[in-house]
Every structure is written in structure tokens, then in C-alpha cells.
Amino acid sequence: MTNLSRLFSGVAVAAMTLLTPGLAAAQSASWWYEALTPEQQRLLDDTLVAGFNASHPGSTLALEYRGNAIENQQRLALMSGGGPDIINSNGPATALPMAKAGQLLKLDEYAAKYGWNERLIPMFLELGKVDGVLYSIPKNYEAMGLFYNADLFAQKGWTAPKTVAEMETLADTMLAEGMTPFVAGNAGFRPANEQFFTVALNQLVGPTAIHEALAGKRAWTDPVFVDAMTKFKAWYDKGYYGKDYFSTSTIDAFAGMVTGKTGMAPQGTWAFSWVKDYFDPAGAKAAFTSIPVADGVPYPLFPIGIGSTLSINAHSPSPDTAAQVIDYVFSGDFYGAIVPQWQGEWNVPLADLSKVTLKGEVTPLYQEATTMIADALASGNYGYTTWTFWPPKSEQYIISGVEELWLGTATPEKFLAGLQELFAAELAEGSVPPLP
């Protein structure tokens, strides 16, 4: 290359860095983050940002809190060749189309360099591959289970249900006592719909039939799914999800378990932070166990999911720094610092936690839950969450379709026929995320 060529090349790179919105300067990695409380922002600033910057001289992490509109902002920025260096998506189903559009960098070389293939749980690493190439890595993994007020259950003489039949009997008892059986509500967060769909589908049908459908070997219109959705609607009609589902937030409903307003919460492990916020200050005792299951479905059962994934922007001017940040997220130092302070959110999929030193106390309940989930994963007793294993259009269809099903504008057959048509098209185009 001539000196003149080098000059123009350098000018072009500098101009791109200055003019392309969202791209960070060299040796600095930018990361756009979702809406957080001031306390949560402080935690990340103190543990993630300060921890990375202190341990990586010459490299810096710039964390920018973008609010609830981050997904749309990031999508538009990527389409124009901009965006942050580190791409935080809502899961493999969201990352997959970005990878296919050439917006994400291949991570295989970084995985080999930093030893991610050995450090992370293999099953979760596989979920980030497209055509055998690694594009995204789970920032955390989560599981759906059943939370309840242990003090209230003891006072009432109730036991946590293990079967759907036991759950229905208990729910009817709660209704008779003026309680809302399930912690539920989608006010401010419509995707909550798919969380309840996920739990109902897994507990009523079981992981085998779901896996077959996701692999294209069984239609979503199969009678087993029709029966499940019929039951799902019946629960809504009986009031299991509450009379004010559309004007209540799930978080507020969760807080209601402390006072006995709501009975039990089919929720993800992210709700451990709500235990800290609501149960602990009230001196109440929370408990956690598997979701109840129908006859023939394995117990215990925890539908697993990826809360979010990390990737590198294909147009990043500092991909090496971005990879350093991702590697730090998967370090024992960061895990030990963040988990005691933010239980349930940062379940980084490290394969071996035996050498991690926690810099603070972790509640016994959280330790019990992680052990239960790990044992279930090891024995294959896990289910599938929509935001991780369904393709993006099908997932969005479920979020809105649940409301049509519940409100009676679509029968179970019609709802599932629409899902089957959409899913079949996405399966044919290769948009279904990898299956474990």
C-alpha cells in the first residue's frame, strides 16, 4: 500500500468512527443497556464497568443506559451500520436474524482464544450458533419454576403442588378464600403473556412433544396441544390469572404474595431479585420449586431459557476490546462480585463454579434453587421457553395470540393453526434457533 493510500485509509477509518453513531473509539467498547433502577445502575457501574476498567489497563468499557426502547434503537442502528460494539439481544431467537443479516461478528476465534468452549456450559454455547458458527453467547440463563409464600402455606396447611391436579385443587381453594391463585399481569410488559404460555405448555404437554414440534416432527395443531390450550384458557376463565391481568404488573402481583393477595408465582429465576425487594423487608419467607406437571410429564421440570445474549457488532472498530469485555463477564471475579448483590439476573453459564469465590452472602433459597435446576439440567428434566427456542415471528404471534385466546376472539384450534402456519414458514427458512 502506498503512503497516499495509507493516508486516505486512515482518514476513512477516522471519519467512520466520528460519523457512525454509537461506535466507540479504538480501545474502548460501548454497550447499550436496558432500563434499570438507580441502584442496579450503580451495581453495574461498580462491578462491571469499574471491575473491567481496573483489570484491563488501556481498555475501557462505556455502559450507556438506553431505557425500554433499547431493542428498537439498537435494531435501527445496526441496519445503518452503527450501534454499540457489544450487542445485547433478548436471546438466540433475536440474535439469529442479526447474524444472518451480517450484523454480528463470528466469535469462534475469540472462543478458542479465551477458552469459552471449556469455561461455559456446552449446551448453552451451542444455542448461539448459526450453521455451526458461533455468533452469540448467553449472558445469563434462567429457569421457570414456582415461587410461593412458605409462611402462608404453613399457616394454611398447604403443600406445594407437584401435579397439575394438585395445583388446580389448591387454586380453587385460593379462589374460594378471595385470593388470586397465580401471580400474573402484563401491564407495562406485554411479553409476560408468553411466560404463562411457556409454563402452561410445558407442564401440560411435556418437553418431548414440544421438542418434536420445534424440530418440525409434530404439528402445533396436534390434539395434545389443542387440549393444552383449551386447559390454558379454562384457567384464565376461572380467574387463576386474576381479574385485572391487563392492568396489573407481574411485579406488583408478586409483591401481593407477601400479604396473601396472590397465591403462587409461576415465574423465572429473575424473580429472586423480587424476593429481596418484597419478602425480605417484610420478614416473610419465600420458597421455590418445580412447576407442577400433568400425568406422564417428568418431575421436577424447569423450562430453561436465555435471558439475553452477547455478541459483537460486525462493524465495531474495536472488536478485540469488546471480546475482552465479554470474557470478563464470564470470569469468576465478576461472577463472585455481582451474584451476591443481584441474585437471579446474572446466572452466567459457567461450567464450574467450584473455584469461584463469592464476595458476599447468597441466600440459602437461591443456593437451593440453583442446585435443583442444575440437577434437573444434568438429568435432562428441562423444558423450553418461547423467547429462547421459538423463531422471532412465532414468538411475537404467541405474545399477541394469548390475549386473543383468553378473550375468546380465537379458539384453541384457530390460535394453533395460525402458529403452525407461521412456524412452518420460519422452519423452512432456517429461522428456528438450535435445539439441545
Contact predicate 204/266, CB 8 Å: no
Mean pLDDT of 310-322: 97
Q: How far apart are the C-alpha atoms of 140 and 161, rounded to whole Å? A: 28
SS3 content of the chain, % helix, strand, coil (to 5): 50, 15, 30
Torsion of CA 78, 83, 87, 92, to 10 degrees: -20
Beta bridge partners of 302: 382
What is the structure's pLDDT at 197?
98
Mean pLDDT of 171-194: 96
- Per-residue pLDDT tens over the stretch 324-378: 999 999 999 999 999 999 988 888 999 888 888 989 888 889 989 988 998 898 8
Confidence of residue 11 (pLDDT cuts 50, 70, 90): very low
Confidence of residue 307 (pLDDT cuts 50, 70, 90): confident
The rounded mean pLDDT for the chain is: 91
Range of lowest pLDDT (47-51, 121-125, 210-214, 248-252): 121-125
What is the structure's pLDDT at 79?
94
Percent of the chain whose pLDDT exceeds 90: 78
- Per-residue pLDDT tens over the stretch 272-293: 989 988 999 999 999 999 999 9
Cell of 299: 418431575
Alpha-carbon separation of residue 304 from 124, 165, 390 (angstroms): 10, 23, 13
Confidence of residue 425 (pLDDT cuts 50, 70, 90): very high
**3-state secondary structure (DSSP) of residue 266:** strand
Q: How far apart are the C-alpha atoms of 358 and 332, rounded to whole Å? A: 9
Mean pLDDT of 108-132: 94
Which pairs with CB-CB distance under 8 Å and at least 24 residues apart come from 185-189?
185/242, 185/244, 185/245, 185/246, 185/247, 185/248, 185/249, 185/250, 185/252, 185/253, 186/245, 186/246, 186/249, 186/250, 187/246, 187/247, 187/248, 187/249, 187/252, 188/249, 189/249, 189/250
Domains along the chain?
15-141+305-377 (3.40.190.10), 143-304+381-428 (3.40.190.10)
Q: Answer yes or no: is pLDDT of 424 > 90.
A: yes
Strand 133-134 versus strand 129-130 pairing type: antiparallel
Mean pLDDT of 27-45: 93
Mean pLDDT of 113-120: 96
What is the structure's pLDDT at 33?
94
Query: Of 251, 176, 239, 240, which is closest to residue 203 (Cα–Cα)?
Result: 240
pTM: 0.85
Contact predicate 137/107, CB 8 Å: yes
Q: How far apart are the C-alpha atoms of 309 and 144, rounded to whole Å? A: 18
Grid cell 409483591 in the structure block, residue? 255
Alpha-carbon separation of residue 351 from 115, 120, 311, 348 (angstroms): 12, 5, 20, 9
